[in-house]
């Protein structure tokens, strides 16, 4: 089954709830290696997204995703706003004109979103950023497409890859972002951006698991 616009809206509502629930946790992670504001910033942004969703119920998926991106850029402080904004805007651009998404479409959206984030943040895998969760997640979806896997199975593999990537940031020394200022002291801490990225893809896997 394809991913419909209503399913996309449901995912965004679910993720907003997850962020609200985990806001303090994300801020605690950020307190160790950043500005101690990632959770609060993300929660503010996605509460703003929630106010936009009722007006998007009759729009195409690309418009939904791009509106989310613009909302995040205008409401989320720190690096999270531009990076997550880029994620959603690039994902939306990749599925322009699509009334619903196949697994191939979602793979293209994820690839475009990841490339946009890498270009904006100048980060690569191993730099201890959200890229460490997103790149393996996108690779898992791409592999699932090649194997002609069901959407639900592909999304679960993607979320698992994101979780593994998130955990793999713990021993890394940060090379990008605020955490990089700490040098060796950034090792031993899980990256907050990789964590919120895992939570995003985990929400998609749970909401779309029946596809």
Residue pair 3/208 in contact by the 8 Å Cβ criterion:
yes
Cα angle 51, 135, 11 (rounded to 5 degrees) comes to: 25
Structure tokens at 107: 């793979």
Res 80: pLDDT? 85
Q: Which CATH architecture fits 3-207?
A: Alpha Horseshoe (1.25)
Q: pLDDT in tens for each of the 211 residues of the chain?
A: 899 999 999 999 999 999 999 999 999 998 987 888 999 999 999 999 999 999 999 999 999 999 999 999 999 977 889 999 999 999 999 999 999 999 999 999 999 999 999 999 899 999 899 999 999 999 999 999 999 999 999 999 999 999 999 999 998 878 777 676 666 777 889 999 999 999 999 999 999 986 5
- pLDDT value at residue 211: 52
Q: In sequence order, what are the beta bridge partners of 3?
A: 101
**So what's the pLDDT on residue 79?**
80
pTM: predicted TM-score of the whole model, two decimal places: 0.95
Reported as half-sphere exposure (CB side, CA atoms, 13 A), residue 181 has a value of 6
Alpha-carbon gap, residue 146 to 14, rounded angstroms: 29
- The pair phi, psi for residue 101, each rounded to 5°, is -115, 130
In the block, residue with structure tokens 């996605």: 46
**pLDDT, tens digit, for every residue of 23-74?**
999 999 989 878 889 999 999 999 999 999 999 999 999 999 999 999 999 9
pLDDT at 34: 82
Mean pLDDT for the chain overall = 93
Residues 100-122 as b or e (16 or more Cβ within 10 Å = b): bbbbebbbbbbbbbbebbbeebe
Cross-strand pairs, 4: 100
Residue 35 pLDDT: 83
Q: Where are the domains of the chain?
A: 3-207
């Amino acid at each position: 089954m394809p991913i419909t616009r209503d399913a996309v809206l449901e995912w965004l509502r679910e993720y907003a709830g997850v962020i609200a629930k985990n806001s303090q946790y994300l801020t605690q992670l950020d307190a160790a290696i950043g500005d101690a504001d990632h959770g609060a910033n993300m929660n503010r942004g996605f509460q703003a997204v929630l106010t936009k969703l009722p007006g998007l119920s009759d729009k195409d998926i690309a418009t939904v995703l791009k509106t989310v991106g613009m909302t995040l850029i205008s409401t989320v402080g720190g690096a999270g706003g531009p990076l997550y904004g880029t994620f959603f805007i690039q994902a939306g651009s990749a599925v322009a004109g699509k009334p619903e998404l196949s697994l191939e479409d979602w793979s293209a959206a994820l690839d475009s979103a990841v490339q946009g984030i890498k270009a904006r943040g100048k980060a690569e895998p191993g730099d201890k950023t959200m890229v460490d969760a997103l790149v393996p997640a996108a690779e898992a979806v791409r592999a699932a497409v090649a194997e002609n896997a069901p959407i639900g199975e592909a999304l679960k593999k993607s979320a698992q890859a994101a979780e593994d990537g998130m955990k793999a940031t713990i021993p890394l020394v940060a090379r990008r972002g605020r955490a990089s200022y700490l040098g060796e002291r950034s090792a031993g801490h899980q990256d907050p951006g990789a964590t919120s990225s895992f939570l995003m893809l985990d929400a998609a896997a749970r909401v779309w698991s029946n596809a």
